[in-house]
Structure 1
């Protein structure tokens, strides 16, 4: 089989998953690459035509060892026939646990044939300059690994006669899945009003519509998934985490998950 078109489908609040997928696509080296960004609320309303024949790379971050609830909801709008898929999760240097297996099972439900999978590392949502957790990742080494992974995927597909001859992709994880996926912890970033210029950036990057701006910034805590896109994108540094439990988790991750982990690849020769 020849890969003629690649579609990147992703939920990527802070951009790390998107960068990994773009690296993989660069390694596959085809001219026709399209992106379907499911990150923002309008991702739920997108009319996405069924996939057929093209190679689809599906990516999402890992929240508490699982796929984000909102990512699952948006991915469930996809429909595929006779389509190979590459599955990618990006985690913050702790563990990816059941997330990649969950993505594999979901992709099969949607009609895809998983041909390869990977778990890459991205800067943790809770990371700051003061409390680093995989800061700056994916870095240049990760992007190179993503490109190499893409080249291996292309070579693997080249010897297939059709998508349905693809053998079962072995992915680590357990089912039933462990609890995770964010939302239960009822906390959210707060706005430092003396610094905030009410520019609206925080609202524009929020994947759930939890942040609104109308003269001042308001946050619906029950909608917050703690992706920290608002914190990382605020040009004034006015969005911060103040909750003590949240800070304690970040400190624990900094102290216990500082040893660099490398991407894990599945379904290709390493």
Structure 2
């Protein structure tokens, strides 16, 4: 069973899912036909996927499930039965049902999952004083990406059909873990540090940040998904998200976890 190219599709506010997706794609040895970044793309037009390509899907885990915003955007995909690889990236706590969920949803989008992997990225709530998976994915993680990609390609070459390749277990439970209601919260802007450059506004995946009448940066708490890309990417360190969950994660989930593969 052969695929001539790979298409990487991802939602990645803090770029960890993007890094993982790119490294897995590179590790397959296939030509990267397209990279579809849905992070700031909130359109509704269907996205047709090329027939002869291997489709790589990558998304972050929020509370043991795939990010709802990621699922909304990935639902635009229109497959034609292509082989697909599902990848989730979590912040060192647990991915719970997210990988199974993404694999299941891939079928709804017309794809045929043949492998799945869970990787670790720096937690959105990590900060220098309370690090959680700081700096991940690191070089060891990227090597594991390549190992995973090689295993996927070996499986595809070994299997004579998609029907054979799609028969594999994925960790998780159905029904999926219930999503807890999200409390409206958002990072704040420190006015004494803010350069009013608009970088946070430009990179917010849900357009939750806006410029107030006085030119300062404000945030719609109802739209914010607490991805913290504005915090991690602010050139002046003027965006801050103060949550007690940072200390909880640092205390209980600092021990290094490793990627897991299912083929």
Q: Above 0.5 in TM-score?
A: yes
Q: Does 1:98 align with 2:97?
A: yes
Q: Contact 1:62–1:99 (CA<8 Å) still a contact in 2?
A: yes
Q: Matched residues in 1 for 2:47 and 2:75: separation?
A: 11
Could you report, residue by residue, the CA deviation over 1:102-151 in whole angstroms, capped at 9, with x for unpaired residues? 10110011111111001000000000111100000000000000011111
The aligned counterpart of 2:233 is 233
Q: Contact 2:194–2:236 (CA<8 Å) still a contact in 1?
A: yes
- Post-superposition shift, 1:229? 0.3
- Return 217-226 or 153-162, whichever deviates more: 153-162
Q: Does 1:209 align with 2:207?
A: yes
Q: Residues 23-172 of structure 1: matches in 2 within 5 Å?
A: 23-40=23-40, 42-45=41-44, 47-172=46-171
Matched residue count: 261
Q: Matched residues in 2 for 1:114 and 1:131: separation?
A: 37
Q: Does 1:4 align with 2:4?
A: yes
Could you report, residue by residue, the CA deviation over 1:179-199 in whole angstroms, capped at 9, with x for unpaired residues? 23x771211000001100110
> Do the aligned partners of residues 43 and 36 (structure 1) sit closer, same or farther apart at CA in structure 2, a change above 3 Å counting?
farther
Q: Matched residues in 2 for 1:250 and 1:118: separation?
A: 26
Q: Matched residues in 2 for 1:151 and 1:50: separation?
A: 23
Q: Contact 1:4–1:32 (CA<8 Å) still a contact in 2?
A: no
Q: TM-score with structure 1 length normalisation?
A: 0.93
Q: Contact 1:212–1:219 (CA<8 Å) still a contact in 2?
A: yes
Q: Matched residues in 2 for 1:131 and 1:252: separation?
A: 9
The aligned counterpart of 1:19 is 19
Structure 1: stretches of 5+ with no match in the other structure = none
Q: Contact 1:27–1:147 (CA<8 Å) still a contact in 2?
A: yes
Q: Matched residues in 1 for 2:68 and 2:46: separation?
A: 20
- Post-superposition shift, 1:218? 1.5
Structure 2: stretches of 5+ with no match in the other structure = none
Q: TM-score with structure 2 length normalisation?
A: 0.95
The aligned counterpart of 1:250 is 246
Q: Matched residues in 2 for 1:117 and 1:50: separation?
A: 19
Runs of 4+ in structure 1 displaced over 6 angstroms? none
Q: Contact 2:117–2:260 (CA<8 Å) still a contact in 1?
A: yes
Partner of 2:222, secondary structure, is helix
- Post-superposition shift, 1:231? 0.2
Q: Does 1:174 align with 2:170?
A: no
Q: Matched residues in 1 for 2:116 and 2:43: separation?
A: 25
Q: Contact 2:155–2:165 (CA<8 Å) still a contact in 1?
A: no
